[in-house]
Structure 1
Amino acid sequence: MSDTITIALPKGRLAEDTIELFLKKGILKNNCIDFNSRKLVFNDDEEQFRFLLVRNMDVPTYVEYGACDLGVVGKDIICETKADVYEFLDLGFGFCRMCVAAADPNFKYRHDIKVATKFVNIAKDFFIKKGFFVETIKLYGSIEIAPILGLSDVIVDLVSTGETLKKNGLHIIENIMDSTARLIGNKNLVRTKYFKIKSILEMLRG
């Protein structure tokens, strides 16, 4: 397994899109992952790949600390975790936006507003650059109801179509960043793996 490339994939659509891309580009000949299985580790012995299915927020950690050589994760997660990894390539799928949203479409920023989000670092960095010191409230789900219940003034969250915001009476105030899936890598790759990964990158770019 010494020359096997271990890749961390986030459970869900990004993992499926990654495998589809690898098959299309000829990096893989067969799909070794059963996405309906409860297994978390899948081996492709012929092509010498091992895939791990993990939580998206954990992908950069597995890569940074060398448990995985490569990983696929959204740009938003890279920024939030501030992981010390190589960001090799924008894979061009998994598009979404990180936005500030509020119940009042004309909401104006001020000091000491309360921001509900699971992206605490991104939210703090965004408001600090604008000169506002805010209180962040970390939530892990159903962020949209925070302003409705008076828990926060605004939310910072990922937006795809915007339908969930509309159904909960929220409006996008500002776009913080766009996010797509990125291929990331460990900074201490062994020489044998480096050449294989270089070949993978060339095939993806081609």
Structure 2
Amino acid sequence: MIEFTFAQILEGLLLAARWTVLLSLVSFVAGGALGLVLLVMRVSSSRALRAIVRIYIEVFQGTPLLLQLFIVFFGLPLVGVDVSPWVAATLGLTFFTSAYLAEIWRGCVEAVPKGQWEASSSLAMNYFEQLRHVILPQAARIAVGPTVGFGVQAIKDTALVSIIGFAELTKAGTIISNATFRPFLVYGLVALIYFVLCYPLTRYARSLQRKWHAAR
């Protein structure tokens, strides 16, 4: 057993938490960008586009994230594409995030009264102008709560990438716990760090909802 002080254990976990935060930000931003594209396709008048996006969403919502990470990390090398744990984790979380955000935002868009579509159409706006200037600004107010809520979930989902060897917070906790034989202390600190990362986001979402009256 290797002797570590409390400060050394905490320092090791905080260093690993940087990768958790970075992975969360990259996958959420990339997933949000892809989710926005999927949203535009999902609410378009084209049946083919709607069908493609619906299948995409059902596949990624209907299968475990852990399985998706396995397919990316172990499947791509089978077709000649070698990926590092970082790339595999980013791709897997991006696809997973985009599917959920696209569906969350679709519900918010559909919550906007249909009269808004008709009114903007009467002003000779095309489809993209209607979305940009009329529909999405209203849907954004409704989407604040669920989007930030899913962002909190996305941070916790990064713990699954430890299974493919990416050294984020949970993986570092396992390594340190095996080295020190102090699992209660180590995993207690891991849980505390996740709480510190997620709780402010939850509070911020609630404050935005009160400010914008999204609940109404």
Query: Which category describes the TM-score, using the shorter chain as reference length?
Result: under 0.3
Greater percentage in helix = 2
